Amino acid sequence: MVDISFAYWVPNVSGGLVVSKIPQRTDWTYDYNAWLAQTAEEVGFDYALAQARFIASYGAEYQLEALTTVAALAPVTKKLKLIAAVHPGLWHPGVVAKMGASIDAISQGRFALNVVSGWFKDEFTIYGEPWLDHDERYRRSEEFIRVLKGLWTADEPFHFRGDFYRINGGWVKPKPLTQPHPEVFQGGNSKAARRMASRVSDWYFMNGNSIEGVREQIQEVSALAKAEGRTIKFGLNAFALVRDTEAEAHAVLEEIIAKADAEAVHGFGEAVKNAGASTSEKQGMWANSKFEDLVQYNDGFKTGLIGTKEQVVDRIRQYYEVGVDLFLLGFLHYSDDLPAFGQEVIPLVRQLEAKRKSTENLVAV
């Protein structure tokens, strides 16, 4: 293994990372998230991703906005790379380019962006924004990223004329400290999402999936990117349940599912089903998700980081070997589980990386 990165979902939205009534030792407030970010970087996490939610949805009653949250976390952290999620259609790329460059300066080059094309129709319609067809949302996101990168990198005033955005000689000063520009992440499972990622994104986030399912996505998107003369990195969503025994870890998982907020889970399932039906292939990111999968928003249970620390490290190794570069983690009890993961799991992964590097050096000699 070489340089696997670890990220965590910032719990800036109430309700935690599972749609369940099980008690959770976590919190959505700023003070809590400042402490958590400082803890995360101390125990070896590389990235933190702030979620983008604007209204209560499926149990998430309170939300701290993502861009302002990472801006506030920047001065209280030193190493952690801070990713903010944004929705094209609710944000203009020129405004986000300026805000991103400012946060990059505040954080000394630690800002990144996750461009989310959107699946929750109500978040757009309550603000009077049109709800575009699925593939149109991804076309808009692609233009959004092209404008961002153009404004961040252009030496002269930047011009852009697309179907969704117009830039008539715009510029951003100061430029971001991160060169050539802050990293741009993107998710999605559809063909439109994969093609978009291959053309403009730096990272492609995948929902939780089997090793074979992840392999297929990585191979397809890598081939598409290669045809565009590009390379891309891959992140995988996972829900980590690490306990002293495999039985204990699975008992916690069973309790989470048994205490699921059934009404909220079914509501979420209907919303994403409708969103998926609008794709060109008539299925979306959650097309093969069962009730128990939807209890964790992005199919994190499917990734299988559930068991003892040794079992979880071996599972990470298997995903790495099919091309995963980063693990985006959610936890049940952030107060306990995130520090424990950093103290117990990440060091074992780093030991495997060091061992592999040593072996490769010996072979090279």
DSSP structure string for 180-221: S--EEEE---SHHHHHHHHHH-SEEEE-S--HHHHHHHHHHH
Q: Read off the pLDDT band of 331 (50, 70, 90).
A: very high
Dihedral sign from CA coordinates of 287, 83, 332, 252: positive
- Distance from C-alpha of 175 to C-alpha of 177, rounded to nearest angstrom: 6
Neighbours of 181 (CB within 10 A): 21
Residue 289 C-beta-side C-alpha neighbours within 13 Å: 31
Q: Read off the pLDDT band of 2 (50, 70, 90).
A: low
Report pLDDT for 58: 62
Report pLDDT for 332: 97
* Residue whose pair of structure tokens reads 């990293």 in the numeric block: 183
Q: Read off the pLDDT band of 3 (50, 70, 90).
A: confident
The CA-based angle 216-214-145, given to 5 degrees, is 90
Q: Which of 81, 133, 130 is nearest to 107 (CA)?
A: 81
Angle, helix 191-200 to helix 134-153, in steps of 10 degrees: 10
**In the chain, what are the helix, strand and coil shares in percent, each to the nearest 5?**
45, 15, 35
Domain residue limits at 252: 5-364
* Beta-bridge partner residues of 86: 115
Give the count of domains, the chain. Answer: 1
Report pLDDT for 216: 96
Per residue in 6-45, is it b (16+ CB within 10 Å) or e — as a string?
bbbbbbbbbbbbbbbebebebbbeeeebbebbeebbebbb
To the nearest whole number, what is the mean pLDDT of the chain?
A: 92
* Residue whose pair of structure tokens reads 């939780």 in the numeric block: 208
* Strands 158-161 vs 111-115: parallel, antiparallel or unpaired: unpaired
pLDDT digits (tens, 9 = 90+) for 65-102: 999 999 999 999 999 999 999 999 999 999 999 999 99
The CA-based angle 206-212-215, given to 5 degrees, is 55
Q: At 269, which CATH number?
A: 3.20.20.30
- Residue 134 CB-density burial (10 A; 0-12 exposed, 13-18 middle, 19+ buried): buried
Report pLDDT for 55: 82
Q: What is the pTM of this model?
A: 0.93
Identity (one letter) of the amino acid at 47? Y
For residue 178, give both structure tokens: 């991160």
The residue-averaged pLDDT of 280-290 equals 60
- Distance from C-alpha of 266 to C-alpha of 59, rounded to nearest angstrom: 12
Q: Which of 140, 216, 151 is nearest to 182 (CA)?
A: 151
